[in-house]
Structure 1
Amino acid sequence: MQVMINARSEKMRGSLWRKPISGIAKIILLFYAIITLYPLYWLGISAFKSNQEFFNRPYSWPQHWQLDNITRAWDLGNMGRAVLNSTIVTISALLLTIVLGMLAAYVLARFPFKLNGAVKGLFLLGMLIPIHSTLVPLFIFMNKLGMLNTYWSLILPYTAFELPIAIFLGMSYIVSIPREVEEAAMIDGNGWWGIFGRIIFPLSLPIVATITILAFLRFWNDFSFALVFINSQALKTLPLSLSLFSDGFGTDYSLTMGAMFIAAIPTIVIFLIFQEQIMKGMVAGSVKG
């Protein structure tokens, strides 16, 4: 009886300690969330200020909401065309990255062969290469192929540099899927393509969502590749259109903030759509199926 009383008192003492720690953790997380979301809030209010108010009252709500900042930025930056170009490039590169990355991840995770380790090492090496160090060789290569000023001059490099991380994320998730599921599908008459398309890929949707949001952020916000490979006004992407509001003599901050607000909306929407799947994908492989 004494042992039971002591155990119960220890349990109560532990619960009393956990409650303050849990409260402190919530306060820290709330503080972190505020710090993380504040730049987005500041961008939102700055997009509707005049240049004078932007400098005089940088952290307060607009006294006079300049709604025409959005429309003027849209028209002057030709952002309709820029959004279309960014959408075409981003969606195309995303599809290639997901399809090729998950196929390669499935092969490397499930099929042992002599060069399996060497291939994994090759993709790991691809993650270590500084992306911007390849700009000059890629420019020369694409110039000889006549690919400059085309969508492919952005789609192919984006896909190539995103594949290594997509493959490693996909491998970590596929390894956690029980092999018995594939064996049951094979008994039902499915081949390898059927197993991948009907079993593996649907079960891997959480990690696919994670790959999607990571790749989307890189593709949508890229400036350096678009600056080097695209010169045609008709093919300029959204980051290039943002640079039009700044020159060597000054920056129109009201229009710049309006344009940045427009550019940030698709990223927010994509994250809100995939947030549940992203959370599942972030813990991929932590629990074996």
Structure 2
Amino acid sequence: MMELASPEAQRTARRKGFRKGLSGFGKLVLTAYAVLTLYPLYWLFISAFKTNEDFFRHPYALPQVWMKENIFRAWELGKMGRAMMNSTLVTMIAVVLTLVLGVLAGYVLSRFEFRFKKLVMGLFLVGMLIPIHSTLVPLFLMMKKIGLLDTYGALILPYTAFELPITIFLAIGFMASIPREIEEAAMMDGSGWWRIFGKIIFPICTPIVATITILAFLRFWNDFSFALVFINSQSLKTLPLSLSLFSDGFGTDYSLTMGAMAIAVIPTIVIYLILQEQIMKGMVAGSIKG
């Protein structure tokens, strides 16, 4: 005859069953969230191959006829080759400047004590609170006076300036978790501050560098307002400006617009897939000290 389980064993079995059910529910919620997050991307790509009529009649279904011509026509009519080159050039230079200046400033502010340090950090904090679009008119007037309007610099410099505050604070948060004993050991071996930063600290900061890179890339790549105000020449227009060509005051060609948007979003997806592992590490940076 089987022996009845003890009360303690029954409680343990119930706890295990509860944890298993909770884990299964969590996976279900995460799966649903993933579907909701990825569906707009799926909808964008299937819409890129539809006719305008198919787009309105069957907005959520697969294309009845796959219109590959939409991609080629959008590329040609929107002059997207030149626009993509402009966006790539402006974004890459601004991202590099943001990383170099932001990570160096974060290192100094996280590792050194000096006079007016709190004031400097307060100024960067104020920079995070300024509404970016409220500066468009003053920046326009300033750039007009110094001759920067309608140049790459008209986008690169504001992009870098407005991204620096968040970059610096992310870098400070991550570097604060790096043990100072590493630097002390390197100094005992005769290393200077520049060598310590370049050979030790910066490689350790790879996760937060990846996070900063993707955040800055998304902001710069998708910016429309600054490019619209500061750029007039067709040869300097970026991708967001080229997308606006498919819409006017009388209507929008949705088949070409979706085709152009599908082209524009591909670099963002590629960059994220390359950096996703480091981004996940960077998002939890500073939460664990050690």
Please state which band the TM-score falls in when normalised by the shorter chain: over 0.9
Aligned twin of 1:153: 154
For residues 174 and 101 of structure 2, what CA distance do their matches in structure 1 show? Answer: 16
Aligned twin of 1:138: 139
**Farther off after superposition, 9-18 or 271-280:** 9-18
Moved >3 Å (runs of 4+) = 5-12
Pair 1:111-2:81 in alignment? no
Q: Secondary structure at the match of 1:22?
A: helix
Q: Deviation digits for residues 79-116 of structure 1, max 9, x if unmatched?
A: 00000000000000000000000000000000011211
Q: Deviation digits for residues 26-55 of structure 1, max 9, x if unmatched?
A: 111111111110000000000000111111
Kindly tell me: are residues 100 and 13 of structure 1, through their superposed partners in 2, closer, same or farther at Cα, counting changes over 3 Å? same
For residues 51 and 33 of structure 1, what CA distance do their matches in structure 2 show? Answer: 29
Kindly tell me: are residues 13 and 253 of structure 1, through their superposed partners in 2, closer, same or farther at Cα, counting changes over 3 Å? same
Pair 1:222-2:223 in alignment? yes
Q: Deviation digits for residues 114-152 of structure 1, max 9, x if unmatched?
A: 211111111111000000000000000000000001000
Task: Give the AA of the match of 2:129.
Answer: L
Aligned twin of 1:60: 61
Task: Give the AA of the match of 2:176.
Answer: V
Measure how far apart 1:8 and its partner are.
Answer: 5.1
Pair 1:262-2:263 in alignment? yes
Aligned twin of 2:180: 179
TM-score when normalising by structure 2: 0.96
**Farther off after superposition, 69-78 or 185-194:** 185-194
How many pairs are equivalent?
A: 285
For residues 54 and 10 of structure 2, what CA distance do their matches in structure 1 show? Answer: 61
Q: Deviation digits for residues 40-78 of structure 1, max 9, x if unmatched?
A: 000000000011111111100011100010000000000
Q: Deviation digits for residues 185-205 of structure 1, max 9, x if unmatched?
A: 111211010011111110000
Q: Deviation digits for residues 185-235 of structure 1, max 9, x if unmatched?
A: 111211010011111110000000000000000000000000000000000
TM-score when normalising by structure 1: 0.97
Task: Give the AA of the match of 2:214.
Answer: I
- Output the aligned Cα RMSD: 1.0
Pair 1:201-2:190 in alignment? no
Aligned twin of 1:88: 89
Measure how far apart 1:10 and its partner are.
Answer: 4.0
Aligned twin of 2:73: 72
